[in-house]
Structure 1
Amino acid sequence: MGNYVARAEVDVRAPRRAVWTVLTSSGANPEILMGAEVVSEWKLGSRIVWRGEWQGRAFEDHGRVIELDDRDEPWRIVLTHFSPLSGQPDVPENYHTLHFELEETPAGTHVTLDQDNNPTVEAAQHSQQTWETMLRGVKAVAERAASKRSSA
Protein backbone atom coordinates (compact mmCIF):
# COMPACT_ATOMS: atom_id res chain seq x y z
CA MET A 1 0.00 0.00 0.00
CA GLY A 2 1.30 3.47 -0.90
CA ASN A 3 1.15 6.84 0.74
CA TYR A 4 0.08 9.17 -2.03
CA VAL A 5 -0.63 12.83 -1.32
CA ALA A 6 -3.64 14.67 -2.71
CA ARG A 7 -3.07 18.40 -3.21
CA ALA A 8 -5.74 21.01 -3.83
CA GLU A 9 -5.10 24.75 -4.21
CA VAL A 10 -7.15 27.87 -4.72
CA ASP A 11 -6.60 31.62 -4.93
CA VAL A 12 -9.10 33.66 -2.93
CA ARG A 13 -9.73 37.38 -3.38
CA ALA A 14 -10.04 37.95 0.35
CA PRO A 15 -7.66 38.67 3.23
CA ARG A 16 -6.03 35.72 4.94
CA ARG A 17 -7.97 36.34 8.17
CA ALA A 18 -11.30 36.12 6.26
CA VAL A 19 -10.28 32.80 4.70
CA TRP A 20 -9.14 31.52 8.11
CA THR A 21 -12.51 32.44 9.59
CA VAL A 22 -14.33 30.44 6.92
CA LEU A 23 -12.04 27.42 7.41
CA THR A 24 -12.32 27.45 11.20
CA SER A 25 -16.00 28.22 11.68
CA SER A 26 -18.46 25.73 13.05
CA GLY A 27 -21.83 25.39 11.36
CA ALA A 28 -22.88 24.63 7.81
CA ASN A 29 -22.30 26.40 4.52
CA PRO A 30 -24.01 24.80 1.51
CA GLU A 31 -20.96 25.54 -0.67
CA ILE A 32 -18.43 23.80 1.58
CA LEU A 33 -17.92 20.03 1.81
CA MET A 34 -21.34 19.09 0.42
CA GLY A 35 -23.05 21.33 2.96
CA ALA A 36 -21.70 19.40 5.92
CA GLU A 37 -22.15 20.80 9.37
CA VAL A 38 -18.78 21.33 11.05
CA VAL A 39 -18.52 21.06 14.82
CA SER A 40 -15.30 21.93 16.65
CA GLU A 41 -13.92 24.27 19.31
CA TRP A 42 -10.99 24.92 16.93
CA LYS A 43 -8.37 24.62 19.64
CA LEU A 44 -5.27 22.47 19.66
CA GLY A 45 -6.33 18.89 20.43
CA SER A 46 -10.04 19.53 20.01
CA ARG A 47 -12.27 17.10 18.17
CA ILE A 48 -13.73 18.04 14.79
CA VAL A 49 -16.81 16.45 13.25
CA TRP A 50 -18.20 16.88 9.74
CA ARG A 51 -21.88 15.74 9.44
CA GLY A 52 -23.90 15.65 6.28
CA GLU A 53 -25.28 13.63 3.43
CA TRP A 54 -23.47 12.48 0.31
CA GLN A 55 -25.16 10.63 -2.55
CA GLY A 56 -28.15 9.92 -0.32
CA ARG A 57 -26.05 8.50 2.54
CA ALA A 58 -25.58 10.22 5.88
CA PHE A 59 -21.98 10.61 6.97
CA GLU A 60 -20.13 11.73 10.07
CA ASP A 61 -16.42 12.14 9.47
CA HIS A 62 -14.21 13.04 12.40
CA GLY A 63 -10.70 13.92 13.50
CA ARG A 64 -8.71 16.25 15.72
CA VAL A 65 -6.96 19.60 15.43
CA ILE A 66 -3.28 18.63 15.77
CA GLU A 67 -1.56 21.87 14.77
CA LEU A 68 -2.88 25.41 14.83
CA ASP A 69 -0.80 28.44 13.99
CA ASP A 70 -3.06 31.45 14.41
CA ARG A 71 -0.70 33.84 16.15
CA ASP A 72 -0.81 37.36 14.72
CA GLU A 73 -1.68 36.33 11.15
CA PRO A 74 -3.13 32.81 10.94
CA TRP A 75 -1.53 30.67 8.30
CA ARG A 76 -1.50 26.93 9.11
CA ILE A 77 -3.88 24.34 10.48
CA VAL A 78 -3.39 20.57 10.52
CA LEU A 79 -6.21 18.13 11.19
CA THR A 80 -6.62 14.39 11.26
CA HIS A 81 -9.54 13.06 9.24
CA PHE A 82 -11.38 9.76 9.11
CA SER A 83 -14.44 8.91 7.03
CA PRO A 84 -16.48 5.82 7.92
CA LEU A 85 -17.72 5.89 4.30
CA SER A 86 -14.25 4.62 3.34
CA GLY A 87 -15.29 1.22 4.64
CA GLN A 88 -12.03 0.98 6.57
CA PRO A 89 -11.78 0.31 10.32
CA ASP A 90 -11.59 3.40 12.54
CA VAL A 91 -7.94 2.95 13.51
CA PRO A 92 -5.09 5.49 13.36
CA GLU A 93 -3.44 3.98 10.28
CA ASN A 94 -6.63 4.70 8.28
CA TYR A 95 -6.70 8.39 9.14
CA HIS A 96 -5.58 11.11 6.77
CA THR A 97 -3.73 14.23 7.82
CA LEU A 98 -5.04 17.45 6.27
CA HIS A 99 -2.49 20.28 6.04
CA PHE A 100 -3.99 23.70 5.26
CA GLU A 101 -1.61 26.58 4.54
CA LEU A 102 -2.70 30.14 3.82
CA GLU A 103 -0.24 32.37 2.01
CA GLU A 104 -0.88 36.08 1.63
CA THR A 105 -0.68 37.27 -1.98
CA PRO A 106 -1.08 40.70 -3.59
CA ALA A 107 -4.60 39.68 -4.69
CA GLY A 108 -5.63 38.02 -1.41
CA THR A 109 -4.82 34.52 -0.16
CA HIS A 110 -3.45 31.34 -1.73
CA VAL A 111 -4.75 28.22 0.05
CA THR A 112 -2.97 24.87 -0.23
CA LEU A 113 -4.45 21.67 1.18
CA ASP A 114 -2.47 18.43 1.27
CA GLN A 115 -4.03 15.13 2.33
CA ASP A 116 -1.70 12.21 3.00
CA ASN A 117 -2.21 8.47 3.41
CA ASN A 118 -3.98 7.74 0.13
CA PRO A 119 -3.33 4.08 -0.75
CA THR A 120 -3.29 4.53 -4.55
CA VAL A 121 -2.80 7.22 -7.17
CA GLU A 122 -6.50 6.88 -8.02
CA ALA A 123 -7.50 7.41 -4.38
CA ALA A 124 -5.31 10.52 -4.23
CA GLN A 125 -6.91 11.86 -7.43
CA HIS A 126 -10.40 11.26 -6.01
CA SER A 127 -9.44 13.05 -2.78
CA GLN A 128 -7.90 15.90 -4.77
CA GLN A 129 -11.20 16.41 -6.64
CA THR A 130 -13.17 16.38 -3.38
CA TRP A 131 -10.87 18.93 -1.73
CA GLU A 132 -10.80 21.15 -4.85
CA THR A 133 -14.60 21.30 -4.66
CA MET A 134 -14.43 22.12 -0.96
CA LEU A 135 -11.84 24.88 -1.52
CA ARG A 136 -13.98 26.42 -4.29
CA GLY A 137 -16.72 26.64 -1.65
CA VAL A 138 -14.35 28.27 0.84
CA LYS A 139 -13.38 30.74 -1.89
CA ALA A 140 -17.02 31.60 -2.62
CA VAL A 141 -17.93 32.12 1.03
CA ALA A 142 -14.77 34.12 1.87
CA GLU A 143 -15.04 36.35 -1.20
CA ARG A 144 -18.73 37.01 -0.52
CA ALA A 145 -17.95 37.94 3.09
CA ALA A 146 -15.03 40.17 2.04
CA SER A 147 -17.21 41.87 -0.56
CA LYS A 148 -19.90 42.61 2.02
CA ARG A 149 -17.30 44.09 4.41
CA SER A 150 -15.78 46.31 1.74
CA SER A 151 -19.18 47.64 0.61
CA ALA A 152 -20.37 48.34 4.15
Structure 2
Amino acid sequence: MSTTARATIHVDVPRADVWRAITDPDTIARYLFGSRVSTDWHEGSPIVYRGEWEGRPYEDKGTILEVVPGERLVSSYYSPLSGKPDVPESYQTVSYLLADDAGGTAVTVTQDGCADEAEAERMSENWGMTLGSLKSVVEQT
Protein backbone atom coordinates (compact mmCIF):
# COMPACT_ATOMS: atom_id res chain seq x y z
CA MET A 1 0.00 0.00 0.00
CA SER A 2 1.26 3.48 -0.78
CA THR A 3 0.42 6.78 0.82
CA THR A 4 0.33 10.33 -0.45
CA ALA A 5 2.31 13.35 0.68
CA ARG A 6 0.50 16.70 0.59
CA ALA A 7 1.38 20.33 1.21
CA THR A 8 -0.66 23.48 0.60
CA ILE A 9 0.14 27.18 0.81
CA HIS A 10 -1.64 30.46 0.03
CA VAL A 11 0.24 32.94 -2.14
CA ASP A 12 -0.85 36.53 -2.68
CA VAL A 13 -0.62 36.49 -6.47
CA PRO A 14 -3.00 35.38 -9.24
CA ARG A 15 -2.93 31.82 -10.58
CA ALA A 16 -1.33 33.00 -13.84
CA ASP A 17 1.73 34.20 -11.89
CA VAL A 18 2.00 30.91 -10.01
CA TRP A 19 1.59 28.98 -13.25
CA ARG A 20 4.48 30.88 -14.79
CA ALA A 21 6.59 30.12 -11.71
CA ILE A 22 5.97 26.37 -11.86
CA THR A 23 6.68 26.17 -15.60
CA ASP A 24 9.58 28.59 -16.06
CA PRO A 25 12.96 26.82 -15.64
CA ASP A 26 14.75 29.92 -14.33
CA THR A 27 12.08 30.53 -11.70
CA ILE A 28 11.96 26.85 -10.75
CA ALA A 29 15.70 26.96 -10.02
CA ARG A 30 15.07 29.83 -7.59
CA TYR A 31 12.69 27.86 -5.35
CA LEU A 32 13.55 24.20 -6.06
CA PHE A 33 17.05 23.97 -4.58
CA GLY A 34 18.74 25.17 -7.76
CA SER A 35 17.30 22.36 -9.91
CA ARG A 36 17.52 22.94 -13.64
CA VAL A 37 14.41 21.59 -15.34
CA SER A 38 14.24 20.52 -18.98
CA THR A 39 10.92 19.79 -20.70
CA ASP A 40 8.57 21.25 -23.29
CA TRP A 41 5.56 21.04 -20.90
CA HIS A 42 3.49 18.89 -23.29
CA GLU A 43 1.64 15.78 -22.15
CA GLY A 44 3.72 12.69 -22.84
CA SER A 45 7.02 14.61 -22.94
CA PRO A 46 9.97 13.81 -20.68
CA ILE A 47 10.88 16.06 -17.78
CA VAL A 48 14.38 16.05 -16.27
CA TYR A 49 15.61 17.75 -13.08
CA ARG A 50 19.38 18.23 -12.77
CA GLY A 51 21.27 19.64 -9.84
CA GLU A 52 23.36 18.87 -6.81
CA TRP A 53 22.12 17.60 -3.46
CA GLU A 54 24.42 17.38 -0.45
CA GLY A 55 27.44 17.63 -2.75
CA ARG A 56 26.28 14.91 -5.13
CA PRO A 57 25.02 15.57 -8.67
CA TYR A 58 21.63 14.13 -9.52
CA GLU A 59 19.38 13.70 -12.52
CA ASP A 60 15.77 12.94 -11.66
CA LYS A 61 13.25 12.25 -14.38
CA GLY A 62 9.69 11.57 -15.33
CA THR A 63 6.98 12.22 -17.89
CA ILE A 64 4.48 15.06 -18.14
CA LEU A 65 1.10 13.36 -17.59
CA GLU A 66 -1.36 16.26 -17.55
CA VAL A 67 -1.24 19.98 -18.27
CA VAL A 68 -4.21 22.27 -17.61
CA PRO A 69 -2.70 25.78 -17.77
CA GLY A 70 -3.39 27.82 -14.66
CA GLU A 71 -4.96 24.86 -12.90
CA ARG A 72 -3.06 21.57 -12.84
CA LEU A 73 0.36 20.15 -13.73
CA VAL A 74 0.97 16.43 -13.20
CA SER A 75 4.08 14.38 -13.90
CA SER A 76 5.59 11.06 -13.02
CA TYR A 77 8.79 11.29 -10.99
CA TYR A 78 11.79 9.07 -10.31
CA SER A 79 14.98 9.85 -8.42
CA PRO A 80 17.98 7.51 -8.44
CA LEU A 81 18.80 9.00 -5.00
CA SER A 82 15.78 7.06 -3.69
CA GLY A 83 17.87 3.89 -3.94
CA LYS A 84 15.02 2.20 -5.80
CA PRO A 85 15.52 0.57 -9.21
CA ASP A 86 14.48 2.50 -12.34
CA VAL A 87 11.34 0.45 -12.96
CA PRO A 88 7.74 1.64 -13.36
CA GLU A 89 6.83 0.69 -9.77
CA SER A 90 9.49 3.11 -8.47
CA TYR A 91 7.92 6.16 -10.16
CA GLN A 92 5.68 8.46 -8.17
CA THR A 93 3.13 11.01 -9.37
CA VAL A 94 3.62 14.66 -8.45
CA SER A 95 0.72 17.07 -8.93
CA TYR A 96 0.61 20.84 -8.65
CA LEU A 97 -2.97 22.05 -8.17
CA LEU A 98 -3.85 25.76 -8.31
CA ALA A 99 -7.12 27.32 -7.12
CA ASP A 100 -8.37 30.84 -6.52
CA ASP A 101 -8.15 31.63 -2.81
CA ALA A 102 -9.06 34.90 -1.06
CA GLY A 103 -7.66 37.17 -3.76
CA GLY A 104 -4.62 34.97 -4.31
CA THR A 105 -3.91 31.35 -5.11
CA ALA A 106 -3.97 28.14 -3.09
CA VAL A 107 -1.13 25.91 -4.28
CA THR A 108 -1.31 22.24 -3.34
CA VAL A 109 1.34 19.66 -4.18
CA THR A 110 0.68 15.95 -3.81
CA GLN A 111 3.18 13.14 -4.28
CA ASP A 112 1.74 9.66 -4.34
CA GLY A 113 3.54 6.36 -4.10
CA CYS A 114 5.21 6.99 -0.74
CA ALA A 115 6.18 3.66 0.82
CA ASP A 116 4.64 4.42 4.23
CA GLU A 117 3.36 7.20 6.47
CA ALA A 118 6.89 8.14 7.56
CA GLU A 119 7.98 8.73 3.96
CA ALA A 120 4.76 10.62 3.22
CA GLU A 121 5.41 12.85 6.23
CA ARG A 122 9.01 13.55 5.13
CA MET A 123 7.88 14.35 1.59
CA SER A 124 5.07 16.58 2.92
CA GLU A 125 7.64 18.52 4.96
CA ASN A 126 9.94 18.82 1.92
CA TRP A 127 7.07 20.06 -0.24
CA GLY A 128 6.07 22.48 2.53
CA MET A 129 9.58 24.00 2.43
CA THR A 130 9.49 24.10 -1.38
CA LEU A 131 6.12 25.85 -1.37
CA GLY A 132 7.41 28.35 1.19
CA SER A 133 10.26 29.15 -1.20
CA LEU A 134 7.83 29.37 -4.14
CA LYS A 135 5.70 31.82 -2.13
CA SER A 136 8.74 34.01 -1.42
CA VAL A 137 9.78 33.99 -5.07
CA VAL A 138 6.37 34.77 -6.61
CA GLU A 139 5.36 37.38 -4.06
CA GLN A 140 8.55 39.41 -4.53
CA THR A 141 8.39 39.58 -8.33
Query: The TM-score by the shorter chain falls in which range?
Result: over 0.9
Equivalent runs, 1:109-128 vs 2, <5 Å? 109-128=105-124
Gaps of 5+ in 1: 146-152
* Residue 64 (structure 2) pairs with residue 65 (structure 1): yes
| Aligned residues of 1:76 and 1:100 also touching (Cα < 8 A) | yes
Q: Once the two structures are aligned, what percentage of the paired residues are identical?
A: 38
TM-score normalised over the length of structure 2: 0.94
- Cα distance in structure 1, aligned partners of 2:23 and 2:99: 16
Larger-Rg structure: 1
Figure out how many residues of one structure are paired with residues of the other and give that number. Answer: 141
**Residue 24 of structure 1 aligns with which residue?**
23
* Aligned residues: CA RMSD: 1.3
Encode CA deviations 1:56-103: one digit per residue, 9 max, x unaligned.
111111111100112xxx201111110000011111110110111100
Q: 2:133 is matched with which residue?
A: 137
- Equivalent-residue separation in structure 1 for 2:36 and 2:57 (angstroms): 12
- Alignment partner of 2:64: what SS? strand
1:50 aligns with 2:45: no
Quick check: 126-135 or 13-22, which moved more?
126-135
Write the deviation string for residues 8-65 of structure 1: whole angstroms up to 9, x where unpaired.
1111111100000000112365542211111111111111111111111111111111
Q: Which amino acid aligns with 2:66?
A: E
1:83 paired to 2:79: yes
Q: Is the 8 A contact 1:63 1:79 kept in 2?
A: yes
Which consecutive segments of 4 or more residues in structure 1 shift more than 6 A? none
CA distance in 2 between counterparts of 1:88 and 1:79 reads 18
Q: Report the AA paired with residue 60 of structure 1.
A: E
Deviation at 1:106, TM superposition (A): 2.2
In structure 2, the residue matched to 1:34 is: 33
Are positions 1:102 and 2:101 aligned together?
no
TM-score, length-normalised on structure 1?
Answer: 0.87
